[in-house]
Amino acid sequence: MPRLPSSPAFWRSPVRGPWFTSVLGLVLLVGIGVLFVTGLLSYAAYNPGLAGVNDKTPGKGLLGLYLFAWPTRPVWLYRLTQGAHVTLGVTLVPVLLAKLWSVVPKLFALPPVRSLAHALERLSLLLLVGGGLFEFTTGILNIQLDYVFPGSFYPLHFYGAWVFFAAFLAHAALKTPAALRNLRDLRGEHRTQQAQLPDPGQHAGAPRDELTSPEPGPPTVSRRGALGVVGGGSLLLFATTAGRGFDGPLRETALLAPHGGPEPGAGPGAFQINKTARVAGIDARETAEENWRLVVEGRGGTVRLTRAELLRLPLHGAELPIACVEGWSTSDQPWRGVRLRDLAALVGHDPDHAPDVLVESLQRHGSFRRAALRANQVRDPRSLLALFVGGAPLTPDHGYPARVIVPAAPGVLNTKWVARMTFGDL
Ligand SMILES: Nc1nc2c(c(=O)[nH]1)N[C@H]1C(S)=C(S)[C@@H](COP(=O)(O)O)O[C@H]1N2
Ligand SMILES: [Mo]
């Protein structure tokens, strides 16, 4: 009679066992903890609590309780937190898959439910495995396919993260003590046997666990070798992803993800572009000198400025990166333009007490055509309505005639092709 996956003997790999699962589990404990914290930081960086236009999850309720005003220093803050979030997520994929592989006999075990406690445990495992696969899949699709779920990525990934993390915490609380014990108890034996199969856990006098095959097949690789394959896979992913956070030769090492490889084009505007002017539907006629006007509104009234008039205001420089939620970023670029605080002053606000601002683009469709900035971002003297980068006027793709650039903020807050700014408490 053929064996079914529900039979423990169906699963023959001698690599499976408590030691292998414990090592992977502890790596994920640390890694997923970091993913969760950097993910929450990323969410806060959008300032979703500030205004409806920034908020893709209006139903967040208590989950938004921790939100805080995202700081403007150090300028590389979001570059670091989001680069770490995405790079670590990609790097952990082999570990996650190996961990699931190592416990797969349990997922098929029958009867599906033995008692109420067992039913609860299985439900939490369902949320854990489902939630984990869901978070990794949505995250990777988002960086690979450039916003496949327009607008809906944020709610999916955000609520999914909380479901996943709740199940993860429960699982970690239940399993970490045993995982640590497994490693400690098995370490000495492990050393002397040089990771020979079968799993040392089988000889530790412990009752047979559900992970170890009762009829292991012949070994083809040692447990350490198997871990080496997983670690090697992670290392390969890391090495072909991490470079997306740097300019020049390092970016060229990022073969696997978009915004890796060579910089686009040549000249001062030759750094990574998120959406081109064409994709955003920006018509060259609207941005031409004779047609484009910047409308600035505030307590003291409304002014309309041509580009030539903007150029007569005091211009300031700031060296700031672009750091996208997708995990790629540029080095600091030399921007030049009018300070946001000076624009607030132009419409009747004391620059040191300048309020929030709503920035709107010429773009008519798409979730990032407008964004709200918080007062602390407006007041920072390095926050600019940039007109130049690298000593030349902005290129159309980088937001000509004018774009916002704010220190430490996620890319989405740096609105391109700006048409209107409304200062006031949001
Ligand atoms: N109007 C508008 N501004 C925008 C966007 C957009 O889609 N439309 N994308 C934002 C995102 S997600 C990023 S990462 C940065 C990228 O700026 P860059 O293309 O100049 O590198 O622009 C931001 N500004
Ligand atoms: Mo972005």
Domain ranges in the chain are: 8-205+219-245, 284-423
The pLDDT assigned to 248 comes to: 85
Judge whether 60 and 207 are in contact, CB under 8 Å: no
The pLDDT assigned to 209 comes to: 78
Residues of the chain with pLDDT under 70: 1, 146-151, 186-208
- Ligand 1 centroid–CA 410 distance in Å is 10
Non-local CB neighbours of 82 within 8 Å, separated by 6+ positions: 38, 42, 45, 323, 324, 325, 327, 329, 410
- Ligand 1 centroid–CA 164 distance in Å is 30
The pLDDT assigned to 391 comes to: 96
The residue nearest atom 24 of ligand 1, judged by CA position, is: 415
- Total-model pTM: 0.93
Ligand 1, residues at Cβ distance < 6 Å:
272-275, 280, 322, 324, 361, 363, 366, 368-369, 398-399, 411-412, 414-417
The ligand placed nearest to the CA atom of residue 264 is: 1
- Ligand 2 centroid–CA 85 distance in Å is 14
The pLDDT assigned to 184 comes to: 86
pLDDT tens digits, 75-96 = 999 999 999 999 999 999 999 9
- Ligand 2 centroid–CA 329 distance in Å is 9
The pLDDT assigned to 3 comes to: 84
CATH no. for 284-423: 3.90.420.10
| DSSP-derived secondary structure for 288-349 | STTT--EEEEETTEEEEE-HHHHHTSPPEEEEE--B-TTS-B---EEEEEEEHHHHHHHTT-
pLDDT tens digits, 391-403 = 999 999 999 999 9
